[in-house]
C-alpha cells in the first residue's frame, strides 16, 4: 500500500540540500518538507543541550505536515541529537554519519582526513566511530571553522581562502581519503579535489543516507505512489535562502518563513 505522506528533512541551513539531492535520485516519487534553521546557524558552535532543544522544536514543526520519516540532514545535529529525537518521537529517524567505515576500506595508505564542523570533530560520537573502524593516529579530524557559514552565504572568496588552508593541512597529513563530514561540504567537492594531492578520494555520506531512507521506506511499506509539491522553509530570510538554494540545486526554490 502506498504512503504519499512527505519526508521531513532539516539542517542548520542549505547543507542538507546535498542530502536531499541524493534521496531524490533514488526516490523520485517522494515529496519533501525541508527546513533550514538559519536563524541558529552555525550548529557547529552549539552545545548538546542547545542542539537538543532546537531539534526538538524543529521536529515538532515538521510533524505538523504529517511527515512519515525524519532525516536529520546535518552531521552536527546527528552526532549530538539523533538518539534524543528517537527517544522522543515515534517515527523512523535517519541521521547523517561521517563515512569513516567506507573511507577505511578505500584508503591504501591508511591515512584519512575528516573535514567537519568543530562540534562534530570534538563529538564523542565521531571519536567512537573512529575508534571502531580505524586508528586515531591515522585519522586527522579537522574542524573547519567558518566553512559552513561561508557556504550559507556563497562567499566564494572566503570559501577559497579557507579551503586553501584546510586542504593544505589534509595534504600535510598525507591523506589519500578525505571525508566530507558536514552536509554543506559536498557542494565544494570539486574545489576540494582540485587542491588535494592527486589521486585523493573525496567521499561523503549522501548516497548511503539515500540508500538507508529507501530501505526503511520499503521495510515499513511507506513508498509513495505519486509525488506532491516539495516545500522549503527557513527560520530567517526566505528570499536569501531561496536564492542560495536555487543556485545550489540548479532549479527554482521559493521558500517560506517558519517559526519554531
55 marked ligand binding residue = no
83 marked ligand binding residue = no
184 marked ligand binding residue = yes
- Tell me: cis bond preceding 52? Omega within 30 of 0 counts: no
Q: Are 64 and 94 in contact (CB under 8 A)?
A: no
247 marked ligand binding residue = no
45 marked ligand binding residue = no
HSE at residue 248, side-chain half, CA atoms within 13 A, is 26
Chain length of the chain: 260
- The residue with cell 575508534 is 131
Residue from 54, 60, 103 nearest 74 by CA: 54
| Residue 190: CB atoms within 10 Å | 9
Residues annotated as catalytic (active site), given as ranges: 74, 182
Sheet architecture: strand order including 139-143: 139-143, 112-116, 177-180, 201-203
Rounded CA Rg of the chain: 18
43 marked ligand binding residue = yes
Annotated binding site for substrate: 11-12, 43-44, 75-76, 183-184
Annotated binding site: 11-12, 43-44, 75-76, 183-184
Amino acid at each position: 500500500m502506498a504512503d504519499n505522506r512527505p519526508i521531513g528533512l532539516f539542517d542548520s541551513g542549505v547543507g542538507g540540500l546535498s542530502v536531499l539531492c541524493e534521496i531524490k535520485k533514488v526516490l523520485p516519487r517522494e515529496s519533501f518538507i525541508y527546513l533550514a534553521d538559519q536563524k541558529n546557524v552555525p550548529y557547529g558552535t552549539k552545545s548538546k543541550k542547545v542542539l537538543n532543544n532546537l531539534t526538538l522544536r524543529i521536529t515538532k514543526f515538521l510533524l505538523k505536515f504529517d511527515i512519515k520519516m525524519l532525516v536529520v540532514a546535518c552531521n552536527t545535529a546527528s552526532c549530538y541529537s539523533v538518539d534524543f529525537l528517537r527517544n522522543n518521537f515515534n517515527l523512523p529517524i535517519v541521521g547523517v554519519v561521517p563515512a569513516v567505515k567506507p573511507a577505511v576500506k578505500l584508503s591504501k595508505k591508511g591515512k584519512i582526513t575528516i573535514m567537519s564542523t568543530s562540534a562534530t570533530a570534538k563529538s564523542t560520537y565521531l571519536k567512537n566511530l573512529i575508534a571502531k573502524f580505524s586508528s586515531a593516529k591515522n585519522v586527522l579530524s579537522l574542524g573547519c571553522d567558518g566553512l559552513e557559514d561561508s557556504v550559507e552565504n556563497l562567499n566564494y572568496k572566503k570559501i577559497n581562502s579557507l579551503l586553501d588552508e584546510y586542504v593544505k593541512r589534509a595534504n600535510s597529513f598525507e591523506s589519500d581519503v578525505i571525508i566530507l563530514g558536514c552536509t554543506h561540504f559536498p557542494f565544494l567537492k570539486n574545489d576540494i579535489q582540485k587542491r588535494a594531492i592527486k589521486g585523493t578520494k573525496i567521499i561523503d555520506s549522501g548516497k548511503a543516507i539515500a540508500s538507508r531512507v529507501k530501505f526503511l521506506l520499503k521495510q515499513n511499506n511507506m513508498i509513495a505512489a505519486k509525488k506532491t509539491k516539495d516545500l522549503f522553509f527557513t527560520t530567517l530570510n526566505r528570499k536569501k535562502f531561496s536564492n542560495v538554494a536555487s543556485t545550489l540545486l540548479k532549479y527554482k526554490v521559493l521558500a517560506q518563513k517558519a517559526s519554531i
